[in-house]
A and B are shown apart, each in its own frame.
Chain A
Amino acid sequence: MEKHLFNYLLRLADSSLIIGHRLSEWCGHGPVLEEDIALTNISLDFVGRANSLYEYAGKIEEKGRTEDDLAYLRNEREFFNNLLAEQPNGDYAQTILRQYLTDAFEIHFYEALTKSKDETIAGIAAKSLKEIQYHLRHSSSWMLRLGDGTEESNRRLQNALNEIYRFTGSLFETDDNDSALTAAGIVPDLSVIQQLWQKDVDTMLEKAMLKKPENVWMQKGNLQGRHTEHLGYILAEMQSVHRAYPGVKW
């Protein structure tokens, strides 16, 4: 069971870290000051959450690996984050869409995790859920503003949707590792979360005057460490300082 839990914690932590890192790329580049601050604040929430999850994963593993070891000393094939998290920021519409699709998932997923039989996970989830509510409110308001905004903002958001919707299937990917944890009441059943997510997303797309892409082939593979080409570039940048100065600490 410990091995299963370790794997699961890594997936959650990797997804949080990678999207957190993506959002931090907006620092100093936001379209307006308030958005620059908003995205970097949200980024901090994700990186902070990743930190707690890695710390717990390291403890479960019992090999003495710290949160820094797990974040900085693994290669691309050893990362298990969902594929949506690693997609590039693109224009602001793409960043907002990626965030909304993530937040709409996390609000249900982390709410379910607060009921986990594992107390540490439930604690981290309770903390995160409060933050996710802000994230979702922020991304939802921008989805409406862009989707139901000008012809250009709608076109950009629709383009982003056509481009990255195919990575949303990876949010719900599951394997044998998870079934034992779900049976033990430690993690939720993702198919239930998926239904809740789909309902919210469909409603939002309609309100935001967007057309849901049809017959989309969902890209998967992250549970086996297979990623889009973007992850390697993120890791190269994120890990370079730590690798150049082994053991360096803030």
Chain B
Amino acid sequence: MTTKEVRTLLSQIPDPEIPVISIEELGILRDVNFINDECVITITPTYSGCPAMKAIEQDIVALLKENGIEKVKVKSVFSPAWTTDWLTEIAKEKLRKYGISPPDKTTSDKSVLTGIQKTVKCPRCSSENTELVSQFGSTACKALYKCKDCLEPFDLFKCH
């Protein structure tokens, strides 16, 4: 199998917490390499303590084994630090449909970096009349919001 084929194969693996997008679309899958006869996969966490990393590692090893690749090493790197800019437009649309408001583009504006977006759109009714309930949501990468028009609570994928 070529590195490209391995990458295509791995792009089927969904994120364990947000199964509508793959680890490839989320930007967690960084690199695929063959070193001698060992397949080395490089991944990067969204947040340092992301508990999904272990599950992702196991999913990668299991899927490659099923496809005949026995020697696998999964390496986790921090640099360059993961950013929401790596999410494709398609991935953002998938998030929105799933009920998670996608992140804006990152800028050097500190207020954006700390999680305050100027307008956060409700993923259900598209209203911009929303309010922050908590900066920390159901997973480390999300904040909790509430729509003041349709009254639904929803997650915002934090701009990071």
Contact = CB atoms under 8 A, between A and B. Distances in A.
Interface in A111-150: 119-120, 122-124, 126-128, 130-131, 133-134, 136-138
B49 A47 contact: yes
B79 A38 contact: no
Interface string B41-52: 000010111110
Task: Give the dominant DSSP class at B's interface.
Answer: loop
Given A52-B78, A126-B78, A134 B49 contact: no
B54 interface: yes
Task: Give the dominant DSSP class at A's interface.
Answer: helix
B137 A37 contact: yes
A123 B77 CA distance: 8
Given A37-B137, A137-B135, A49 B49 contact: yes
A42 B135 CA distance: 11
A130 to B, nearest CB: 6
Contact of A42 (B80, B136, B137, B158): B136
Contacts of B79: 119-120, 122-123, 126-127
B48 A48 contact: yes
A44 interface: yes
A86 interface: no
B136 A38 contact: yes
B49 A130 contact: no
B134 interface: yes
A89 interface: no
Interface in A76-135: 119-120, 122-124, 126-128, 130-131, 133-134
Give the interface residue-count category, chain A: 20 to 34
B81 interface: yes
B138 to A, nearest CB: 8
Contacts of A128: 48
A37 B136 contact: yes
A34 B77 contact: no
Given A34-B144, A126-B81, A130-B160, A138 B48 contact: no
5 contacts: A37-B137, A126-B79, A127-B79, A133-B113, A250-B54
Interface of B: 45, 47-51, 54, 77-82, 110, 113-115, 133-138, 140, 144, 158, 160
Given A44-B49, A123-B80, 9 more contacts: A38-B135, A44-B50, A46-B49, A48-B50, A51-B48, A122-B79, A123-B81, A130-B113, A133-B114
